[in-house]
Amino acid sequence: MSLCVRVRAGDPDAFRILFDENARSVYNHAFRLTGDWSMAEEITALTFLEAWRLRSRVELDRDSLRPWLLGITINVARNVSRAARRHRAAMARLPALGSVPDFADDLVERIDDTRRTAEVRAALSRLSRAEQDVFHLCAWSGLDYAAAAAALRVPVGTVRSRLARARKKLRKIVDQAASTELERESRVRTTDGDRKHAVRSSQEMNQ
């Protein structure tokens, strides 16, 4: 009996296998969606709870349940992110607490990952939601067109066109960002050169 059949039938052992085989993939996808490792852990747990609730919807002819899980992850991440925004807004209305001692030395690598992911997510935020979903599944989680289409419940052709649009937009965003950075560096070099010239001129006048 296939894993899909066993999961749909509510077999606890099959669900444990499903978790063991896919938890890391779900977690990585959740982290890329949110840029927050703690939130990604919550989303991972909620994704498998939701998968258990929706097990009767598993399509029995699937080769893998990973696309189905990643589709659930996207929806769960949106719900958790909305709740987090409401929580932050509520916390912002409370009086500020005292400073907290630094205890994050062991989290430096995670913080760096969060920073890099935040930069990528900033670019992705300029895509439409549909384009983001396709890019997350195909580019980040490595699903092929058919698997991404199954996860999002859209035709394969729609996945192809959305991914093509997303890549075109991202190339434009990256090119614009690179151009802006080059202009900034040029201005900095010009300013530094003017300052050095002014210092040398002042020194020569004082000699």
How many Å apart are CA 149 and CA 64, to the nearest integer? 13
Q: Domain of 185: which CATH number?
A: 1.10.10.10
* CA distance linking residue 167 with residue 21, whole number of Å: 30
Six-digit token string for 68: 């189905």
User: Would residue 29 count as lying in a domain?
Assistant: yes
Q: Are residues 132 and 78 in the same domain?
A: no
Q: Is 101 part of a structural domain of the chain?
A: no
- 78 and 137 in a single domain? The answer is no
Name the residue among 130, 7, 11, 140 with its Cα closest to residue 64.
7
Q: What is the structure's pLDDT at 15?
A: 93
Burial 79-103 (b: 16+ CB within 10 A, else e): ebeeeeeeeeeeeeeeeeeeeeeee
Q: Which residue range(s) make up the domain with 82?
A: 1-91
**Tens digit of each residue's pLDDT (9 = 90 or more) over 50-101:** 999 999 988 877 788 999 999 999 999 988 877 666 655 655 554 544 444 4
- 169 in a structural domain: yes
pLDDT tens column, 93-146: 545 444 444 444 444 455 555 666 677 778 788 888 888 889 888 887 888 898
Q: 98 — alpha (psi -120 to 50), left (phi > 0) or beta?
A: beta
Instruction: Please state the domain count of the chain.
Output: 2
Provide the residue type at 133 as one letter: D
Residue 67's closest CA among 24, 22, 37, 33?
22
Which residues are within 8 A (CB) of 39 and not within 5 positions of it... i.e. 6 or more apart?
A: 30, 80, 81, 84
The enclosing domain of 24 has a CATH number of 1.10.1740.10
